[in-house]
């Protein structure tokens, strides 16, 4: 299927200057995608959209929403759809870390992490799927984590690993159900990336320590993940669906 000339990609969790979401927005806008931004703060979303539109000459619109609220997510995507060209792609990037050990884990923390990192992906996917099914074209990319495949061993611990493993299951199931409508759904599983979700800016010492587990000579950048997202939402990736692409410097080989 051919993409429409004017197409929009929605990116959740796209306001933080150092985050994967913002790097993805910039990368996609540079490729000519119109951009929808969803993050917690409405004013920050609108400011980011204004910057993207000015820098890259594309249409962009931002809406504040907590991805853990289905009603807020649906309302945000309704607004983006009204303001922007056809939604062709969704990148579910919004997420939170959780470094609390299992034996110290409280129910509220479990719920918080699952609601944002798994339910939020479902809510956004479910809403955009309605539009993509009507148009019979779509690309959805979800961010999982190497933590899901290795059972942690990263900054975040059990609820994070569980949620990110759930994202892989959700990716496969929705790929199967949405495939007849020419919609692909894939996941990206990042390894160590230099972002704030790793517990703040990584020191050179910490980067060197993390690199010892990799088969490449550096930790990842947000651009590494943005480029992978751009590939999986491209017109040429239509024969790839239900897959988990590890962008992790060789940390997990399977």
Residue with tokens 């899901």: 148
The residue-averaged pLDDT of 220-232 equals 97
Q: What is the pLDDT of residue 108?
A: 98
The residue-averaged pLDDT of 44-56 equals 98
- How far apart CA 90 and CA 94 sit, in angstroms, is 12
Its pTM stands at 0.96
Asked whether residue 181 carries a pLDDT value surpassing 90, the answer given is yes
pLDDT digits (tens, 9 = 90+) for 72-84: 999 999 999 999 9
Q: What is the separation of C-alpha 219 from the centre of its chain, rounded to a whole number of angstroms?
A: 19
Residue 236 neighbours by CB distance under 10 Å: 7
What is the band of 254 on the pLDDT scale with cuts at 50, 70, 90?
Answer: confident
Average predicted confidence (pLDDT) for the chain: 95
The pair of three-digit structure tokens given for residue 177, joined into one six-digit string: 């159900």
Catalytically annotated residues: 160
Q: What is the pLDDT of residue 209?
A: 84
pLDDT digits (tens, 9 = 90+) for 6-46: 999 999 999 999 999 999 999 999 999 999 999 999 999 99
- How far apart CA 235 and CA 2 sit, in angstroms, is 7
E strands present in the chain = 8-12, 34-39, 60-64, 87-92, 138-143, 183-190, 244-247
């Amino acid at each position: 299927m051919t993409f429409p000339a004017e197409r929009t990609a929605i990116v959740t969790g796209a306001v933080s200057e150092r985050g994967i979401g913002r790097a993805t927005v910039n990368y996609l806008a540079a490729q000519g995608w119109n951009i929808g931004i969803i993050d917690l703060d409405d004013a920050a979303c609108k400011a980011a959209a204004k910057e993207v539109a000015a820098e890259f000459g594309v249409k962009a619109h931002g809406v504040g929403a907590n991805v853990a609220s289905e009603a807020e997510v649906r309302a945000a995507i309704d607004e983006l759809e009204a303001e922007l060209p056809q939604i062709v792609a969704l990148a579910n990037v919004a997420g939170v870390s959780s470094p609390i050990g299992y034996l110290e884990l409280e129910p509220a923390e479990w719920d918080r992490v699952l609601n944002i990192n798994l339910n939020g992906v479902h809510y956004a996917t479910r809403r955009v799927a309605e539009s993509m099914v009507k148009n019979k074209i779509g690309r959805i990319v979800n961010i999982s984590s190497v933590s899901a495949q290795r059972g942690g061993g990263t900054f975040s611990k059990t609820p994070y690993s569980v949620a990110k493993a759930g994202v892989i299951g959700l990716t496969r199931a929705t790929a199967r159900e949405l495939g007849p409508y020419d919609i692909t759904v894939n996941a990206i599983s990042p390894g160590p990336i230099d972002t704030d979700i790793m517990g703040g800016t990584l020191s050179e010492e910490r980067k060197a320590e993390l690199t010892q587990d990799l088969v490449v000579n550096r930790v990842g950048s947000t651009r590494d993940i943005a480029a992978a997202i751009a590939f999986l939402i491209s017109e040429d990736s239509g024969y790839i669906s239900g897959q988990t692409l590890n962008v992790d410097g060789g940390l997990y080989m399977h």
